[in-house]
Amino acid sequence: MSELNVILLGPPGAGKGTQAERLQDDFHLLHVSTGNMLRAAVEEGTELGRKAKAYMDRGELVPDDVIIGVITDRLQEEDAQDGFLLDGFPRTRPQAEALEKALDDLGRSLTAALLVDVPDDVVVRRLSGRRVCQKAGHPYHVDTNRPKHDNVCDIDGSRLIQRDDDREETVRKRLEVYNEQTAPLIDFYDERGLLRRVDGTRTPTEVHDHIRATLATLRLEDEI
């Protein structure tokens, strides 16, 4: 079967993490979330975490040279060979170019860039109510996606917390950064014929159905 190498584009709070969780089960893809990797590195106090923390707390992007090597190395590991779902990377044009080159060098290529489209006001509402589990970052929402037991993750039983960067002021900064530095990648992937748009304001299940159908079609097209 052909490999699906997919990136999820979209503002913070578009639901990329939620969708990635579901899609990795459907298509047996490795889910690589740069945000989760960086938060784990901060927690563990590694060199990467020490370099990244101040930027993350301010809602700014970690410098390209810090993150690019981490991802290009990760995609060469055994468990990424049958396809991957990149969530939160690339976020700048140099990152997108580095990814293109790294895949090219490996004789691989991207299948699609899925844009989960959500307007700014919806992002602010969603993120200020978001809670994530302490252990693996599984996402919940105080209004729309509550866990079965208050403040406890349904999947791994760890405690739910609010991420420092989900406070309203930092959310606005992250949106500004997204609009300036990441949104230009929409044209980058459109020019390459890889962009697929999904309406991210629909329910998580509707968004999931739409993406699943899109990926199934892409896989079929690739096999013909």
The SS3 assignment for 160 reads strand
Q: Is-catalytic flag, 163?
A: yes
Residue given tokens 């997108």 in the structure block = 96
Length of the chain: 224
Q: Using the rule CB under 6 A, which residue among 22, 30, 51, 55 binds ligand AMP? A: 55
Which candidate in 39, 53, 126, 174 is catalytic? Answer: 174
The residues in 143-172 that bind ligand AMP, with binding defined as CB under 6 A, are 165
In angstroms, rounded to a whole number, what is the distance separating the alpha carbons of residues 43 and 118? 30
Stretch that binds ligand AMP, among 42-50, 84-92, 111-119, 203-211 (CB under 6 A): 84-92
Whether the CB-CB separation of 153 and 133 falls below 8 Å is answered with: yes
Give the three-class secondary structure for 106.
coil
193: left (phi over 0), alpha (psi -120 to 50) or beta: left
Q: Least CB distance from residue 57 to ligand AMP, whole Å?
A: 8
- Nearest approach, Cβ of residue 147 and ligand AMP (Å): 19
Q: Is 62 in the site for ligand AMP (CB under 6 A)?
A: yes
Binding of residue 91 to ligand AMP (CB under 6 A): yes
Q: State the catalytic residue, choosing from 22, 93, 163, 167.
A: 163
Question: Which stretch of DSSP H or E encloses residue 120?
Answer: helix 120-128
Report if residue 53 touches ligand AMP, rule: CB under 6 A: no
- DSSP code at position 152: B
Active-site annotation, residues: 16, 91, 130, 163, 174
Binding site for ligand AMP (CB under 6 A): 12, 34-35, 38, 55-56, 59-62, 67, 88-89, 91, 95, 165, 174
